[in-house]
Structure 1
């Protein structure tokens, strides 16, 4: 995509995130009933209405692009461009009145993630990025920290249930013991902190691509590395994350891979 097209797409994604935030604020104030999907995960009217608000903006901005959304699935738009939307990532937090939830909007061009917007309206922050133009936090360009030593590193973990039964679990424990600090910020929060230099490594093992697509663009444009736990690039089937400063990502990946070898 040309620079002009990317800026147009980024502007649309930011507008769509703002439209979603108005829906989320409305239901945050009044409360919502909770339903369960077929996979036993919760969904609310806020999720659905926020996605509809997002789709309206994105369809008007790029009518030839397809949209893959958490609540309404993938439509039959163009193959080269696909929006990836999670209107309310963190529904469990939302319904329990915990402000750690966000709206995630990314654009994929021919298999490459090129635009990302992460909006956490109740928490009070938005980050955005487009390929080649850096990462921005509330209008200020930000970068990951320069941390290269594990002894100085802050590590954050998110969803790690499946990792507890993995051969890499013990090695994760070793990484934590050797680090400076361990936290479990989770969701959008630890990726935002990583992108602006507030921590150094993020590890998750139970995610959906819609949860992390925008955040991958943001972290990469902030100078960080973002892969799955096997070091592979993100695809629609990605289920895990290893993100961090370049040096610490490489070190953690090597040690986790060695753990799999026994």
Structure 2
């Protein structure tokens, strides 16, 4: 496992890379740009491509020997260290002109996630973490404050759950289990993208459920939630891999109880 000193240095570089992406994004946000539709039917813009290039320039300068996996440019290189990059997670929001999108940068070492930065530059908040270093948060009021998940231990009137895209879940046997879970909770929300994971890590939500994601969407957020004291797996309770496509994240106790319901 990389040393704490290395991870601190790498985290600083990742934050610099996210800041470089933010400058690109600010230049294009709510400006005129073409929108292309990729083979997977998701949109892409010049801002996505330029922001990914800006991130990689910063990372490659510091770590030229590392491998990279970007949303727009795919895999590049081999080795123990793999940077996972989603320059604009939430391009549909970006295209529609509202700020519920973010830049996601994570580092994986031999298949294990070790650091992450989630920068929602137009939303004016950023969260970051590295293995063993806790989770941290900045917004217009806070500048680098530590964050922790809630201590919620039972489903009840005070429990808050948020859902992202659950289209695949709605077509399977887990849908009825989800309905039962909703009946036991006090509040349901649908924040989506980066935002409900930031809220979870800050103690404002208790559980997040998604069935249609890819690892680039969630890698950085998984490190942040875990370092804030939460549990973050796929819907079946499995560890995250490059092929992960669903999320069950929450306080350890609620995560364990939700897992028993058979949502996967």
Q: Alpha-carbon deviation of 1:31? A: 3.1
Cα offsets for 1:98-135 (capped at 9, x unmatched): 21000000000011100100000111100000000000
Alignment correspondent of 2:45? 44
Q: Does 1:117 align with 2:122?
A: no
Alignment correspondent of 2:20? 19
Conservation of the 8 A alpha-carbon contact between 1:117 and 1:128: yes
The secondary structure found in structure 1 opposite 2:49 is: helix
Alignment of 1:1-262 (within 5 A): 1-76=2-77, 78-138=78-138, 139-151=144-156, 152-256=158-262
Equivalent-residue separation in structure 1 for 2:81 and 2:28 (angstroms): 31
Conservation of the 8 A alpha-carbon contact between 2:147 and 2:201: yes
Structure with the larger helix share: 1
Cα offsets for 1:24-53 (capped at 9, x unmatched): 111004232101111221000000000000
Equivalent-residue separation in structure 2 for 1:63 and 1:16 (angstroms): 14
Cα offsets for 1:48-70 (capped at 9, x unmatched): 00000000000011111101000
The count of residues paired between Structure 1 and Structure 2 equals 257
Conservation of the 8 A alpha-carbon contact between 1:31 and 1:95: no
Tell me whether 232-241 or 146-155 shows the greater mean CA deviation.
146-155
The secondary structure found in structure 2 opposite 1:32 is: coil
TM-score by length of 1: 0.97
Alignment correspondent of 2:141? none
The secondary structure found in structure 2 opposite 1:133 is: coil
Stretches of structure 2 lacking an aligned partner (at least 5 in a row): 139-143
Cα offsets for 1:175-199 (capped at 9, x unmatched): 1111010000000000000000010
Equivalent-residue separation in structure 1 for 2:18 and 2:172 (angstroms): 36
Moved over 3 A (4+): none
The secondary structure found in structure 2 opposite 1:79 is: coil
Cα offsets for 1:225-252 (capped at 9, x unmatched): 0000000000000000000000000000
Stretches of structure 1 lacking an aligned partner (at least 5 in a row): none
TM-score by length of 2: 0.96
